[in-house]
Structure 1
Amino acid sequence: MKLQLWRNATLLLNIDGISILVDPMLGEKGSMGKMPMTDSELLNPLTDLPFNKEELNKRLEGIDVIAVTHLHPDHWDSEAVRLLGKNIPIICSDVISDHIAEQGFTNIMTVKDQLQWKNITISATKGQHGTGKIGEKMGIVNGFVFKKENQSVYIAGDTIWYDDIAEEIDRHQPQNIIVAGGAATFSVGDPIIMTSEDIVKICEYAPKATVWVTHLEAVSHCREDRKFIQGKINENGLSERCFVLDDGEEVELPF
């Protein structure tokens, strides 16, 4: 398995030559505008993709399937809807499948618990996108576990650390865990994705797993940048198995 971070939560996962694009946000820098419920005047996304439009189109031609964890625009934007072929297979929960179908996509595979596709076992996982009223407003989110034979990777999605994440780790025993860091926070309420403290907790709970941190420096409500998170990783002696990915960086997942 190989993993490449494109930007934010947009990931390319390659499993034995099968290319899975996760949470495509494909618009240009600034195309989403200001982040609601914040005081920031910055236009999102804050960065461009790490390749130009021509290269993006080439890369999209090689994608076999799309996986969508939820429909917030930094995970599924209007440019993704425009660029992706309407017959490309899309994996998502039944909570969002009707909406994606209304956008013209015709090959949708819903995952309530588990799905078998091209010898890959795909499991849907729980997530909690914040706490209190903000968490309720953010809606239902999920992650995915992709497993091929004895190799597995858990993409946690937009979630904080809470008891159900521990249960998903116990259930699936993933060797690789991909988390959304950055401590994104609105003008009120607590962080809606993992803080550096949450990342340390997940490392401590899964001491045999390699943890990869994404969702950084691309949207304006994230409060922790790569340098800050790397510092916390180093302080806790986790630098040999917890890694902060750069945009465009490709890695081979260890097993």
Structure 2
Amino acid sequence: MKLELWRNATLLLQLGGKNILIDPMLGAKGSLGKLPMTDSELLNPLVDLPFSEEELKDKLSKIDAVAVTHLHPDHWDEKAIEFLDKNIPVICPEIIAEKIAESGFKNIISIKDSIIWENINISITEGQHGTGEIGEKMGKVNGFVFKTEDQTLYVVGDSIWYEGIAAEIDKHLPQHIVVAGGAATFAVGDPIIMTSEDIIKLCEYAPNASILVTHLEAVSHCKENREYIQKKINENDLENRCLVLQDGMEYSL
């Protein structure tokens, strides 16, 4: 099993001989524009992908499936819709399957609970994308658990730390957990994804798992950067099993 972070939440998962692209945001730097409900004038995404468009198209030609947790544009953008083969399997929660089909994709594998695809067991997990009114505005989000005979990877998706994440860990017993860090916050309300404090709590709850942190330094409403999160990891003596991924970085699990 290998993971390669492209940018933000976009990950290439190599598992069971298959290449699964998770939450593709493939547009150029600035292509999403300003984020709503923020005070920032910065254009998103804040950085380009760590390779050229020619290299991107080559990488996409080797993809066996795409997995989409939810449809916010930093996880599923217009360039992803444009560049991806419309016949490629798209694995997603049932709730967003129809919307993806409207973009022309013909091979949608919608999941209510779990499926087996190419000898990989794929389960849908629950998430909480913020609290209060902001959490309601952000809508329903999900994550995935990918499981083979000897490896289990839990991609939490865009969620804060709450009892639902603990329940998913108890249910699936993952060896590896990918979390969205950065403490993304709008002009009002609390963070909508994990803060460094949340990440520490998760590490404490799952002491036998490796934790991989993504969603950093790519969208303007994130308040914590890689340096800050790494400092908190080090302060809690978690650097041996909690890793802040860099764009373009490949990690063997």
Both proteins in one fold, TM over 0.5: yes
Instruction: Note the C-alpha offset of 1:102.
Output: 0.5
- The residue that corresponds to 1:123 in the other structure is 123
Which residue identity does 2:111 align to in structure 1?
V
1:57-116 alpha-carbon deviations (Å, 9 max, x no partner): 000000000000000000000000000011100000111000000110010001111010
- The residue that corresponds to 1:156 in the other structure is 156
Which residue identity does 1:189 align to in structure 2?
G
Which residue identity does 1:221 align to in structure 2?
H
- The residue that corresponds to 1:237 in the other structure is 237
| Structure 1 residues without counterparts, runs of 5 or longer | none
Tell me the secondary structure at the aligned position of residue 149 of structure 1: coil
CA contact (8 A) 2:16 2:120 kept: no
Instruction: Note the C-alpha offset of 1:28.
Output: 0.1
Which residue identity does 2:62 align to in structure 1?
G
- The residue that corresponds to 1:62 in the other structure is 62
1:19-34, aligned counterparts within 5 Å?
19-34=19-34
- Give me the whole-angstrom Cα distance separating, in 2, the residues matched to 1:53 and 1:151: 32
Which residue identity does 2:58 align to in structure 1?
K
Instruction: Note the C-alpha offset of 1:128.
Output: 0.3
- The residue that corresponds to 2:46 in the other structure is 46
Instruction: Note the C-alpha offset of 1:16.
Output: 2.8
- The residue that corresponds to 1:93 in the other structure is 93
- Give me the whole-angstrom Cα distance separating, in 1, the residues matched to 2:153 and 2:135: 26
| Structure 2 residues without counterparts, runs of 5 or longer | none
Instruction: Note the C-alpha offset of 1:147.
Output: 0.3
Which residue identity does 1:107 align to in structure 2?
N
1:1-255, aligned counterparts within 5 Å?
1-253=1-253
- Give me the whole-angstrom Cα distance separating, in 2, the residues matched to 1:242 and 1:20: 23
CA contact (8 A) 2:16 2:119 kept: no
Which residue identity does 1:199 align to in structure 2?
I
Which residue identity does 1:18 align to in structure 2?
K
- Give me the whole-angstrom Cα distance separating, in 1, the residues matched to 2:115 and 2:51: 32
- Give me the whole-angstrom Cα distance separating, in 2, the residues matched to 1:168 and 1:214: 19
- Give me the whole-angstrom Cα distance separating, in 2, the residues matched to 1:182 and 1:33: 19
- Give me the whole-angstrom Cα distance separating, in 2, the residues matched to 1:13 and 1:86: 20
CA contact (8 A) 2:21 2:66 kept: yes
CA contact (8 A) 2:212 2:243 kept: yes
Which residue identity does 2:64 align to in structure 1?
D
- Give me the whole-angstrom Cα distance separating, in 2, the residues matched to 1:179 and 1:220: 18
Which residue identity does 2:211 align to in structure 1?
V
Which residue identity does 2:245 align to in structure 1?
L
Tell me the TM-score normalised to structure 2 length. Answer: 1.00
4+ runs of 1 displaced by more than 3 Å?
A: none
Which residue identity does 1:112 align to in structure 2?
K
Which residue identity does 2:224 align to in structure 1?
E
Instruction: Note the C-alpha offset of 1:166.
Output: 0.2
Instruction: Note the C-alpha offset of 1:17.
Output: 2.1
Tell me the TM-score normalised to structure 1 length. Answer: 0.99
- Give me the whole-angstrom Cα distance separating, in 2, the residues matched to 1:112 and 1:17: 25
Instruction: Note the C-alpha offset of 1:164.
Output: 0.5
Instruction: Note the C-alpha offset of 1:150.
Output: 2.3
